[in-house]
Amino acid sequence: MKNNIGFITQRVGIVVMLGALTFLGTSCSDLMENPKALVSEVNFYNNKGEAEAGLIGAMSQAYAAADVGLGPDDVKYNSYTDSNHDGIRDFPIVLDTDYGTINWTAAYKSIANANTVIRAANSKKIAGVTESELAEIVGQARFIRAFKYFNLVRLYGDIPLIIEDSPNPVSNTYERTSVANVYSQITLDLEDAAKTLPDSWANTPGRPTRWAAKGLLSKVYLTMATAPLKQADNYAKAASVAKEIIDSKMFTLIPNVADVFKIDSKRESEMMFAFEATTDAPTGYAIGLASKNSGGYSTGALDTIFAAYEFPDQPRRDAYIQLNIPDVIHPDANGNWKLIPWKEAFEYAPIIAKYNYPYVDAYDIYKKVVWPMNAPILRYADVLLVYAEAANRVSGKPTTEAVNAINLIINRANGST
């Protein structure tokens, strides 16, 4: 170790000497010039538009990670055998795989952007905004930060907790913070967001609201009540916040479960928070369009036996599983795209239908990363389930209200609402 340190010191010394020689003869005024190309609080976040741009940057990174939201559950995993996809299947999410690194990096980029927005807003340097608008800007940034830390702490456990705008956000010198302290910060952020954010945004969908903050907070409390923290007093907090959302009458379930993931439903009363989608994206994977033989989790394929025999015989099966597709686009050995029959592409591989996008040409589907269907992050159904579980834990037995909440979900799945 000493030899390595000595070697590094020598190299640093050489670089410093070369730097000094390079700048001999350079005027002081040149050295004092502000770096215009570097976006920072010094030369940015001077008005509301720039603050909004910072929020967009934080939000875009919040959903920029590869294959966000994937898990093994009933999704068929077969073609890829590399360590990246093994991490999705088996849950050893570590930083020595591409997906582990991408998720980690994207999360902290989002957090860094949120921290900068918060600092700029709190410094009162953003011109042309009212105090309430400043509070809303901070509330949105704190929601994004809490959302990312909630994902990170569940994936990695003890993690660096960075809540200040750092001049060096990529530094590797941050120490890890305990799970308990990370959750404490998450709850602080969401409690603040719930106080400062509006009930809804009239002309700008996709922004977090007061109710989205409360909904996410209820899930955080429920998670804190279970392993690894096992803070049982948080069951009551989860039930209380979820009940507040239910009693507000602001949200309702979409009656037909088959309509939940349709384009026309993306801003219906069930959706509490979702990432707004776009059709303007480069070539990439589409969800639920390739067979299990074409590779990886992009397929959305289900285990055949499970789909045929074990999935409950109810309307939910027809809504969530698509057993055939008339045609699909697939590249041949030379990389040329060609139309092939669905039986060739989907043989023995029913697919997940709920994210399928049947409204455009098959090639347009396959070549797009995303499309007009939003990515739901929090739905009213989540809140009902949180309340049912938390209230049951608090009382030690099923209560009438808890049973009613979960029956809303069950009855809809059975097509009896």
291-302 pLDDT, tens digit each: 333 333 333 344
Tokens 């007093």 found at: 233
Q: If pLDDT is split at 50, 70 and 90, which confidence band does 84 have?
A: low
222 or 359, greater pLDDT: 222
**CATH, range 48-197:** 1.25.40.390
pLDDT of residue 102: 66
**Helix 131-156 and helix 48-62: axis angle, to 10°?**
20
- pLDDT range class, residue 56, cuts 50, 70, 90: confident
Which range, 18-32, 147-161, 190-204, 232-246, has the best average confidence (pLDDT)?
232-246
pLDDT at 43: 63
Chain Cα centroid distance, residue 285? 17
Does 206 or 396 have the greater pLDDT score?
A: 396
Residue 91 pLDDT class (50, 70, 90 cuts): low
Average pLDDT over residues 93-101: 55
Cβ partners under 8 Å of residue 20, min gap 6: none
From the centroid of its chain, how far is CA 231? 25
CA atoms 121, 124, 128, 133: torsion sign: positive
pTM of structure: 0.72
Angle ∠(279,282,285) on CA atoms, nearest 5 = 85
Looking at residue 258, what is its pLDDT? 77
Enumerate residues 6+ apart whose C-beta is below 8 A from 377: 147, 273, 274, 275
Q: Give start-end residues of each CATH 1.25.40.390 domain in the chain.
A: 48-197
Q: What are phi and psi of 284, to 5 degrees?
A: -175, -160
> Tokens 């029913």 correspond to what residue?
350
CB 276 within 8 A of CB 208: no
Work out the number of other CB atoms within 10 angstroms of the CB of residue 125. 15
Q: What is the mean pLDDT of residues 200-223?
A: 94
Instruction: Judge whether residue 392 has pLDDT over 90.
Output: yes
Using pLDDT thresholds of 50, 70 and 90, give the confidence band for residue 229: very high
How far is 186 from 148, CA to CA, in rounded Å?
Answer: 9
Which has more confidence, 9 or 175?
Answer: 175
Instruction: Give the mean pLDDT of 262-275.
Output: 83
Average pLDDT, the chain: 72
Q: In this predicted structure, what is the pLDDT of residue 174?
A: 86
More confident residue, 154 or 367: 154
Write down the pLDDT at residue 355. Answer: 44
Q: For the chain, what's the residue count?
A: 417
pLDDT score at 209: 97
Q: What is the pLDDT of residues 306-363, one digit of tens each?
A: 444 455 565 555 555 544 444 444 455 665 544 444 444 444 344 444 444 444 444 4
Q: HEC profile for the chain? A: CHHHHHHHHHHHHHHHHHHHHHCCCCCHHHHCCCCCCCCCCCCCCCEHHHHHHHHHHHHHHHCCCCCCCCCCCCECCCCCCCHHHHHHHHCCCCCCCHHHHHHHHHHHHHHHHHHHHHHHHHCCCCECCCHHHHHHHHHHHHHHHHHHHHHHHHHHCCEECCCCCCCCCCCCCCCEECHHHHHHHHHHHHHHHHHHCCCCCCCCCCCCCHHHHHHHHHHHHHHHHCCCCCCCCHHHHHHHHHHHHHHHCCCCCCCCHHHCCCHHHCCCCCEEEEECCCCCCCCCCCCCCCCCCCCCHHHCEECHHHHHHHCCCCHHHHHHEECCCCEEEEECCCCCEEEEEHHHHHCCCCEECCCCCCCCCHHHHHHCCCCCCCEEEEEHHHHHHHHHHHHHHHHCCCCHHHHHHHHHHHHHHCCCC
Cα 353 from chain centroid (whole Å) = 21
The residue with tokens 């990439």 is 284
Check residue 264 and give its pLDDT: 74
pLDDT band at residue 95, thresholds of 50, 70 and 90?
low
Mean pLDDT across the stretch 104-113?
A: 88
Return the biggest CA–CA distance within the chain: 82
Task: Please report the pLDDT score of residue 45 as a whole number.
Answer: 81
Share of the chain above pLDDT 90, in %: 37
> Does the pLDDT of residue 186 top 60, yes or no?
yes
Asked if residue 100 has pLDDT above 50, the reply is: yes
Which residue did the predictor score with more confidence, 135 or 350? 135
Kindly indicate the confidence band of residue 126, based on its pLDDT and cuts at 50, 70 and 90: confident
In whole angstroms, give the CA distance from residue 202 to residue 320.
Answer: 32
240-245 LR contacts (CB < 8 Å, sep 24+): 241/214, 241/217, 242/215, 242/218, 242/383, 242/384, 242/386, 242/387, 242/390, 243/387, 243/391, 243/401, 244/214, 245/211, 245/214, 245/215, 245/218, 245/380, 245/383
pLDDT of residue 60: 77
